[in-house]
Copies of this chain bind each other. A is one copy, B any other.
Amino acid sequence: MAPAAVPIAATASELTVSAMKTDLAKSTKPQLDASKLTYTFNKHGGVVPALDDPIRREHNSSTDHMLTVKWTEKGGWEAPQLRPYGHLDIMPTASCIHYATQAFEGMKAYRGVDGKLRLFRPDLNCKRMNLSSTRIALPPIDPEQLEELVKNFVSVDCPKWLPDPETFIYLRPAVIASGAALGVQKPREATVFIIAVLFPPMEVLNGMRLLASKEDMGVRAWPGGHGWSKVGANYGPTLQAQGEARERGFDQILWLLGSEGRVTEAGASNFFVVWKNKTSGRLELITAPLGDKIILDGVTRRSVIELAKSRLSHNPTEVLKEVQHLEKLDVVEQNYTIDDIAEAYEDGRLVEAFACGTAFFVAPISYIQHEVDKGIEVPMNTTTTDGCKSGAYAAAIKTWLKEIMYGKVSHPWGVVINERGAQ
C-alpha cells in the first residue's frame, strides 16, 4: 500500500500524511488554506472568570470566538472564518448527531513564566486530526494548514483569555459531518471548528483510584476498531461504565482487553507502569504498544517515552543532575496484563504507575481494583513541588514537561505564538 518513495521506517502517521498530500495534489477543488482566514471580531466579549471560579469546573465556558471552516465534496474547502462564539446550525438530519461522524483533538495553550504564549507540539495533534477524520469517513485535513489555523485562533483569543503565567486554556479542534443527509453513507459535507474552553487548574493531590474493567462494563477498543484514532465513537460508549465507577468511588476505569486482561488505557488517557522485570530484574517503564492500533498515539504518551529515553535510560542523550538519585530504566512498549501488575505488586517489584494525556496531564495512580475485594496499592513515594503525592519518575517527567510548556526552558516542543488580540 505504501508508495515506493516512502522509507520503510516511516510511521503509520507519516505514511498517511504522505498519501493525503498526494490526494490533495490531485484534487482541483479548493484546498484548506489558512491564508484565506477572515476575521469577524466579537464586539460583546465575555468576562474572564477567576482561576478559582467554580464555573470553570463545568467545562462549558468558552472564549469570545470560534473558528469554522466548511467542506463539501462538490466544492472543496471554503475560506476559514474566525467569528464570535455561538451555536452551530445543525439540522436534525445531520449525520454527526446520528452516526458519530465526528473526530476531535485535545490541545492546550500555555502562558509561560516569561509571559509568552505557547503550544505544545501542535504538529502532532494536527497530524492525528487528519488521521482521525479520514478514519471516520470525513475529509483529509491538511495538518500544516490546521496548525496555522489553531495558531491564528489562539493568537486572537489568548491575549485576553489566558492572562496568568503558568496557566493554560484547553483547545478543541473538531470536525463533524454537518450536512443534512440521513443516509448511512460517507458524508458529503463537513465542518471543522476550533474553540477554547476554560478548565479549572488540575492537580491530582493523592493519586487516581482506578477500577479495572470487567467484560460486562464494555471494552474500550478492539483489534480492527478505531481505538488508535480520536473519534467520538471511542468515548460515549465508555461513559456509562465510567459513571458507575465514579459512583463507586473510583476516578477512572483501567480498560482491559480480552480474557487475558491486556492493559490498554486509563479512562481517556494512556497508561504507564514502572516495575522491575520479573525475569531480568531490570527496571522498566512499560506502556502498551501502538502496533495493533488499540491505543491512542497520545502526544503526552509520545513525549513521556521520548523524555524517558533521552534522560532516564541507560544510554541517555541528556544527562541531568536532578535525576542522578533515580535508577536508570528501560523504556518498553509492549503488551502486559493486569495479572502482570498484580504479580509485580505481590512480589514487591511494582514501583509506580501513572496515566497521561492532554486533559489530565501526568496523573499518578494510587490504587487499582482488579477483583471484587482485591486491589493493588500503587506506591507513591514522592511529594512534588506543588504538594501532590506521586511516584518519583512521574514527578520528574511532569516537571520536565511543565518546564517546556511554561517556557522555563527553551525547547523545540514549546512553540511560541505571536499574539495579535481581537482587533
Given known A-B contacts A184-B359, A231-B236, A93 and B60 have beta carbons under 8 A apart:
yes
Chain B residue nearest to A359 (CB atoms) is B184
Nearest chain-B residue to A360 (Cβ)?
B184
Enumerate A210-259 residues with CB–CB distance to B below 8 Å: 215-219, 222-226, 231-237, 239-240, 242-243
The A137-188 residues at the B interface (CB cut-off 8 A) are 137, 170, 172, 174, 176-177, 179-187
List the number of copies, as a whole number: 2
Kindly state whether residue A99 has any CB partner on chain B within 8 Å: yes
Interface flag for A91 (CB, 8 Å): yes
The answer to whether the Cβ of A59 comes within 8 Å of any Cβ in the partner chain is yes
**Residue among A215, A235, A243 with max Cβ neighbours from chain B (10 Å):** A235
Contacts of A391 in B (CB 8 A): none
List of B residues within 8 angstroms of A223 by Cβ: 215, 219
In angstroms, Cα B90 to Cα A361, docked, is 29
**A137 to B193 alpha-carbon distance, docked (Å):** 25
Question: How many chain A residues have a CB neighbour from B under 8 Å?
Answer: 67
Contact code string A119-145 (vs B, CB < 8 Å = 1, else 0): 000000000000000111100000000
Within 8 Å CB of A302, what residues of B?
A: none
B-chain residues with CB within 8 Å of residue A232 when the two chains form the complex: 97-100, 232-233, 236
Q: Which residues of the other chain, B, contact A96 by a CB distance below 8 angstroms?
A: 97
A85 at the interface (CB under 8 A from B): yes
**List of B residues within 8 angstroms of A99 by Cβ:** 232, 235-236, 239
CB distance from A374 to the nearest CB of B (A): 21
Instruction: Kindly list chain B residues whose C-beta atoms are within 8 Å of the C-beta of A225.
Output: 218-219, 222, 237
A174-B98, A187-B239, A240-B137 are known contacts. Are A62 and B93 too (CB-CB below 8 A)? yes
Alpha-carbon gap, A97 to B178, bound state (A)? 10
CA distance A240 to B85 in the complex (A): 31
- Rounded to whole angstroms, the CA-CA distance of A88 and B92 in the bound complex is 6
* Given A60-B182, A219-B224, A235-B99: A134 touches B87 (CB 8 Å cut-off): no
A interface residues with partner B (beta carbon < 8 Å): 58-60, 62, 66, 85, 87-93, 95-102, 104, 134-137, 170, 172, 174, 176-177, 179-187, 193, 195, 197, 215-219, 222-226, 231-237, 239-240, 242-243, 267-268, 359
